[in-house]
Amino acid sequence: MLKRIVVPLDGSQISHAALPLARSLAEQTGAGVTLVSVIDPPRDFYISPQDSSSTRLRPKDIDHLAKEEQRLDYYLKNVATSFERTRVSTDIRLGQAATEILEAAEAVEGSAIVMASHGRSGLGRMLMGSVAERIVQSSQVPVFVTRASTDTRAEFGKQKITNVAVALDGSDLAEQALDRAYDIFRNNVRYTLVRIVEPVAPGQSYSSEIIANYEREARESAEDYVRDAADTLTTHGATVSADVRITEPASGITRVASEFGADLIAMTTHGRSGMGRFLLGSVAERVLHDTDRPVMIVRAKESNSES
């Protein structure tokens, strides 16, 4: 059950692009909304990186912070008036933006974060921004990412969500996205289960017969898998569609979501490298890059993985 939606706002048009989706989700689920802004403290706010509990603020710093808090309070309360049928609170924090936003979201069980990405750069690559990237990397709660776009045709996120495409790969980790989606939307949406089987990579020295047999067996196994997943949902009263394709995963997921009329794509991210850096995963990154639909990112939790 979704109880609270946390929306990070910094006054930019990009951050405001998350508001339509937040309003729609709040009205659909009955969740409350918390609008969060974070004040960046003076450079010498902390005496040392090891001691963040002690501060040394000069009079001009105190005056600046007070004025900034007053400005943000007015700004957030003004934004709050755009939520006509939703309980809205505001939260002004001091510190590092990503850390404070994550703490705000994870303080209440049943929360989710709704935020906007920068969209595409001139090279076509998605730019999430350092704060948004860290939130997606580290969040213990679902993160809904919607694209900040000037395209007036991009209506996704402004209307009620009625169809959720869930990307599955046959693993328990991927199924966590389905679990969270059902926990939020219950039987109020159609679920489109998407299982993509990767084809044999080009250049492999296999006969056409071997490739055909592999793809047939892989498709049959994938169809059995999504059928079982769909049956589990239908026993709970949900409406379910399923599609299995042999193609490149990211483009396949976005194509199925489009063809089946999904309003939202749900998927998991996974793992950390040996350096401790979170890997968004090439598939999730490509989907975020390619789709105009909002994407719900769920960080997969492995029972034996290090946090």
186: domain CATH number is 3.40.50.620
Give me the DSSP letters along 158-193: SS---EEEEEE-SSHHHHHHHHHHHHHHTTSSEEEE
135 and 183 together in one domain: no
- State the pLDDT at residue 119: 55
In tens, the pLDDT along 10-33 reads 999 999 999 999 999 999 999 999
111 and 90 together in one domain: yes
31 and 56 together in one domain: yes
The mean-pLDDT minimum among 193-197, 226-230, 275-279 falls in 275-279
123 and 203 together in one domain: no
113 and 190 together in one domain: no
Percent of the chain with pLDDT over 90: 66
Q: Is the pLDDT of residue 47 over 70?
A: no
133 and 282 together in one domain: no
Residue ending a domain, choose from 157, 181, 204: 157
133 and 93 together in one domain: yes
Tally of domains within the chain: 2
pTM: 0.87
Instruction: Please compute Rg for the chain using Cα positions.
Output: 21
137 and 38 together in one domain: yes
Residue 98 DSSP label: H
> What is the span of the domain harbouring residue 139?
1-157
Q: Cα–Cα distance between 55 and 10 in angstroms, integer?
A: 24
146 and 3 together in one domain: yes
Q: Is the pLDDT of residue 37 over 70?
A: yes
119 and 220 together in one domain: no
Residue ending a domain, choose from 110, 129, 157: 157
User: pLDDT grade, residue 44 (50/70/90)?
Assistant: low
Q: Cα–Cα distance between 295 and 266 in angstroms, integer?
A: 6
Contacts of 129 (CB under 8 A, 6+ apart): 14, 117, 118
pLDDT average, residue stretch 115-126: 56
Q: Cα–Cα distance between 57 and 39 in angstroms, integer?
A: 14
55 and 184 together in one domain: no
- State the pLDDT at residue 99: 95
133 and 167 together in one domain: no
Residue ending a domain, choose from 112, 140, 157: 157
Choose between 67 and 272: higher pLDDT. Answer: 67
